[in-house]
Amino acid sequence: MAKQPKQNKTASGTDVNHVKQQNQQAAQGKSQYGAEFAQQTDAQQVQQQNQKSQAKKK
């Protein structure tokens, strides 16, 4: 397999094409992390925890 031209990497070594692909997936709502996080999060429980936290601050 031929090496990709150096222009596909930033100065810090980040693969530009990989970042573009991740951004595209995120824009389409196919981000693996986002979907996984949403499935594991109970919104009602988080709201209750936030209310308790706010009540303690007062």
In this model, does residue 4 exceed pLDDT 80?
Answer: no
Question: Is 3 inside any structural domain?
Answer: no
15 with 8: CB under 8 angstroms? Answer: yes
39: containing domain: 16-56
Question: Is 43 inside any structural domain?
Answer: yes
CA–CA dist 42, 48 (Å, integer) = 10
Per-residue confidence (pLDDT) for residue 6, from 0 to 100? 55
Question: Is 36 inside any structural domain?
Answer: yes
Question: Is 9 inside any structural domain?
Answer: no
**Number of domains observed in the structure of the chain:** 1
Model confidence, pTM: 0.37
Question: Is 2 inside any structural domain?
Answer: no
List pLDDT tens digits, range 19-57.
Answer: 888 888 777 766 556 555 566 778 888 899 999 999 988
Question: Is 1 inside any structural domain?
Answer: no
19 with 10: CB under 8 angstroms? Answer: no
Per-residue confidence (pLDDT) for residue 3, from 0 to 100? 57
Per-residue confidence (pLDDT) for residue 29, from 0 to 100? 66
Per-residue confidence (pLDDT) for residue 43, from 0 to 100? 80
Q: Which tokens hold the place of 52?
A: 């308790």
Question: Is 44 inside any structural domain?
Answer: yes
Give the residues across from 9 on adjacent strands: 15
